[in-house]
Amino acid sequence: MSTVIDVKDLCKTYVVNKKHNNVLKNVNFHIDEGEMVAIMGPSGSGKSTLLYTVSGMDKMTAGNVTFCGKELAGLSDNEMADVRLDDMGFIFQQMYMMKNLTILDNIILPAVKSNRNHEKRSETEKRGRALMKKLGIEETADNDINEVSGGQLQRACICRSMINNPKVIFADEPTGALNRTSSDEVMCEMVKLNKEGTTVMLVTHDVKVAAKCTRVLYIVDGNIQGEYNLGGYSKPEELRDRERQLNNWLMEMGW
């Protein structure tokens, strides 16, 4: 399996009022193709910063991130935008969408913007609708974003992140704003996507969510303190045992 993300000595420092705050300190890890990696850690440990820095949304202070063979530090803003458009998908805790577009238009917007496929608008629409059907929200296609539930909206965000067939989906607490039922539905879809071959890197506080991942990285004060390899699972019944194992490991890590 090839490595899609290789992080070496990654540092991120915020300077506020001339005070240097080292949020990430020489972080090293890699993610292989087809993995679903959860980043966990206490509040303020640098989880989201790590996700945004690795995905190129935030600039790193030092170190290097290689994404599918490309060193992100050497990319210009425009090149980075192209990478985000074609090779990355993003899901956020809040269901950020363009207010003036329908759900379907929001989903297909990155595909319309991308020059990669040169497909007809009708083809893009067909792909968008297919993705919506897959995630069970096809009936909301022509709705405005304030006409659907939070769970539906988050699934729409997943559709949007998938529309350009990205190599990696980055998710920042994707279930953080959802109730348990919606949360389970969303994670179910993400696991499905991962099983179909999409690599996922997500940040979560939720053990139930992390238990569905293949690997968990635990970060404290900007350092990766440890990682726990859960591997894949085939039956939902296995999840309870994975949660217990993960809980025990997290307790050991000081969770």
Using CB under 8 A as the binding rule, whether residue 173 contacts other proteins is answered as: no
Q: In the set 17, 146, 181, 234, which binds other proteins (CB under 8 A)?
A: 146
Q: How many residues bind other proteins (CB under 8 A)?
A: 41
Q: Residue 119: how many CB atoms within 10 A of its CB?
A: 14
Q: In the set 160, 167, 212, 242, which binds other proteins (CB under 8 A)?
A: 160
Using CB under 8 A as the binding rule, whether residue 98 contacts other proteins is answered as: yes
Shortest distance, CB of residue 181 to other proteins, whole angstroms? Answer: 20
- Rounded to 5 degrees, φ, ψ at 73 are -60, -30
- Rounded to 5 degrees, φ, ψ at 142 are -95, 10
Shorter beta-carbon distance to other proteins: residue 154 or 214: 154
Are 115 and 85 spatial neighbours (Cβ–Cβ below 8 Å)? no
Using CB under 8 A as the binding rule, whether residue 100 contacts other proteins is answered as: yes
Within positions 47 to 66, which residues make up the interface with other proteins, using CB under 8 A?
52, 57-58
Cβ-based neighbours of 33, under 8 Å, separated by 6 or more? 1, 2, 3, 4, 167, 197, 199
Shorter beta-carbon distance to other proteins: residue 83 or 216: 83
- Spell out, one character per residue from 72 to 91, where the chain touches other proteins: x when CB under 8 A holds, - when not: -----xx--xxxxxx-x-x-
9-14: long-range contacts (C-beta < 8 A, 24 or more apart)?
A: 9/62, 9/63, 9/64, 10/50, 10/53, 10/54, 10/60, 10/62, 10/63, 10/64, 10/65, 11/60, 11/61, 11/62, 11/63, 12/46, 12/49, 12/50, 12/53, 12/58, 12/60, 12/61, 12/222, 13/61
Shortest distance, CB of residue 58 to other proteins, whole angstroms? Answer: 5
Within positions 106 to 145, which residues make up the interface with other proteins, using CB under 8 A?
108-110, 112-114, 121-122, 124-125, 128, 142, 144
Which residues sit at the interface with other proteins, rule CB under 8 A?
52, 57-58, 77-78, 81-86, 88, 90, 92, 94, 96-102, 104-105, 108-110, 112-114, 121-122, 124-125, 128, 142, 144, 146-147, 160, 164
